[in-house]
Each structure stands twice: as C-alpha cells, then as structure tokens.
C-alpha cells in the first residue's frame, strides 16, 4: 500500500497536466498560445500589484522596527497569557493576512531563533499552513477580474484567519 501511495503521489501532477493538455488538444485548443497568453496576463498582474506589495512590506517593516509591535505585545501580554498564546507568535498572526512573504520571513526568524522542533517553531509552521493571505488574495483576485465591491469577503477571510490562528494553537498544543 505504501509503495502504491508513493507512486501515486509521484505521478499525480504529471498525469493531471497531461490529461488537461490531451483534453485541450482534442478540443482543438491551441495549448501553447493559450498558455503564453496566460503567462503574459500573469506578468501584467504582477507588475500592477508590485507597488502595493512593496508598500505593505514597508509598512510591516516600519511597524516592527519602530517598536510599535513590542508596545502592542506588552499591552496584550495579560490576555495572551490567559489564553495560552505565546507572544512570539502574535506578529505572525498579524502579518499573515497581509503578506505571505512577510509571514514566511517571520516564520524563518522564529525557526532560526527557537529551532524547528520547538513549540514555537512547530506552532509557526502550523499557523503558516492554517491561515491565508486574505488582503493579498482579495487585492489580486478581485482586482484581476475588476470587482470593486468586496462585500463580506474580507470580513469572512479575516474570521477564517482568526479561526485558523486559534485552531493552530489548540492543535499544536494537543499534538506537541
């Protein structure tokens, strides 16, 4: 069974890609042309959102470097202790909805400082996989299709991020 799963996991993505290409070929879709058009649109989207990403990363860096984050953590310390939330993980919870790159940088710092097998390292890794870059997704995907009114998408995404944050803490405490 383990050998079967090993081969299945190795071949799943190539088989899916080949199936899509074969289907497109039989439907007489010009696969290469459509792919390159999509790649051009992707590059165009990246060029459009880079200023927003730079601004977001800069704001996060200023927030951390100014000491404002430390002040916020000191204010929240009693509440965090009551719920058993390590204060070291809070910056990751705050940055994750804003930036995948910024949150990955925080995870890297936490793992370098505390180690990958520490509670903080495991919690950071679990949190990284349990939450999403809500604002980035809304900006990119809604912007790509021209949606201006996000309605409840941001609120729902942030609630999901909070639930993911709390679930990551609970599950990491239970497992480790």
Q: In this predicted model, what pLDDT tens digit does every residue of 46-97 receive, in sequence order?
A: 787 777 777 777 887 788 889 998 898 899 999 999 988 999 999 899 889 9
Q: What average pLDDT does the chain have?
A: 88
pLDDT at 143: 74
pLDDT over threshold 80, residue 6 = yes
- H helices of the chain, in order, are 2-26, 31-65, 68-83, 90-95, 100-114, 119-130, 134-137, 143-144, 153-175
pLDDT of residue 110: 95
As a whole number of angstroms, the distance between CA 15 and CA 154 comes to 35
Task: Please give the distance of CA 22 from its chain centroid, rounded to a whole number.
Answer: 32
Q: Please state the separation of Cα 149 from the chain's center in Å.
A: 23
Q: In what helix (H) or strand (E) does residue 117 lie, and over which residues does it extend? A: none
Q: Is the pLDDT of residue 24 over 80?
A: yes
Question: Residue 117: what pLDDT?
Answer: 93
| Mean pLDDT along residues 116-123 | 95
What pLDDT does 42 receive?
A: 84
Structural domain spans, the chain = 1-49, 67-175
The backbone torsions φ and ψ at residue 152, rounded to the nearest 5 degrees and listed phi first, read -100, 10
pLDDT of residue 49: 74
Cα separations in angstroms, 129 against 126, 132, 136, 147, 160: 5, 8, 16, 27, 13
- pLDDT at position 113 is 95
Question: In this predicted model, what pLDDT tens digit does every residue of 149-165 receive, in sequence order?
Answer: 888 988 999 999 999 99
Per-residue pLDDT for 39 more than 80? Answer: yes
What pLDDT digit, counting tens, does each position of 121-138 carry?
999 999 999 999 998 888
């Amino acid at each position: 069974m383990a050998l079967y799963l090993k081969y299945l996991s190795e071949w799943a993505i190539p088989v899916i890609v080949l199936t899509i290409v074969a289907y497109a070929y039989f439907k007489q879709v010009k696969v290469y042309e459509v792919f390159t058009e999509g790649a051009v649109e992707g590059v165009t989207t990246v060029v459009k959102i880079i200023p927003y990403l730079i601004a977001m990363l800069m704001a996060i860096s200023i927030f951390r470097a100014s000491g404002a984050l430390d002040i916020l953590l000191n204010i929240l310390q009693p509440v965090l202790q009551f719920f058993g939330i390590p204060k070291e993980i809070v910056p990751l919870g705050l940055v994750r909805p804003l930036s995948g790159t910024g949150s990955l940088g925080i995870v890297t710092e936490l793992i370098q400082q505390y180690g990958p097998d520490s509670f903080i390292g495991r919690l950071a890794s679990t949190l990284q996989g349990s939450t999403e870059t809500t604002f980035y997704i809304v900006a990119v995907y809604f912007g790509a299709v021209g949606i201006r009114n996000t309605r409840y998408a941001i609120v729902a995404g942030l609630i999901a991020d909070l639930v993911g944050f709390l679930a990551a803490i609970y599950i990491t405490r239970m497992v480790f």
